Amino acid sequence: MKRVGFLLKVREKYIEEYKTHHQNVWEEMKSALVRHGWNNYSLFIRPDGLLFGYFEANESFSDSLTGMSKEQINTEWQELMSPYFEILEGSDPDQSIVELEEVFHLD
């Protein structure tokens, strides 16, 4: 198991819409996440839209991302989410993620 921390940035004007979508994540999307080891997965937001993600991957962040990248439902979800994020033109949110380094852990 590998604990993963990552950051994204939601555009400030879309924060409320982003939150509403995340109260209603598609069941098929959640099943895909579970299949690819996004375990105990939480997202937290700062009032300006900085978004922090935490989950416990089976193997690694890149394995979990690669697994999702092959799921059609994830392609559709990322297309829906794409306008909400501050990202480079033409890339999707999964490619603008910043992985953080774990510096401490206590069980």
The residues annotated as belonging to the active site are 22
Give the whole-angstrom CA distance, residue 46 versus residue 51.
Answer: 6
Tokens of 71: 């799921």
Distance of closest approach, residue 82 Cβ to a copy of itself, in angstroms: 17
| Contact with a copy of itself (CB under 8 A) among 26, 34, 59, 95 | 34
Tokens of 46: 């700062």
Binding status of residue 33 toward a copy of itself by CB under 8 A: yes
Binding status of residue 35 toward a copy of itself by CB under 8 A: no
Binding status of residue 100 toward a copy of itself by CB under 8 A: yes
Angular region, 40: left φ>0, alpha ψ -120 to 50, beta rest:
left
Give the whole-angstrom CA distance, residue 78 versus residue 82.
Answer: 6
From the list 64-72, 77-85, 94-102, the region that binds a copy of itself by CB under 8 A is 94-102
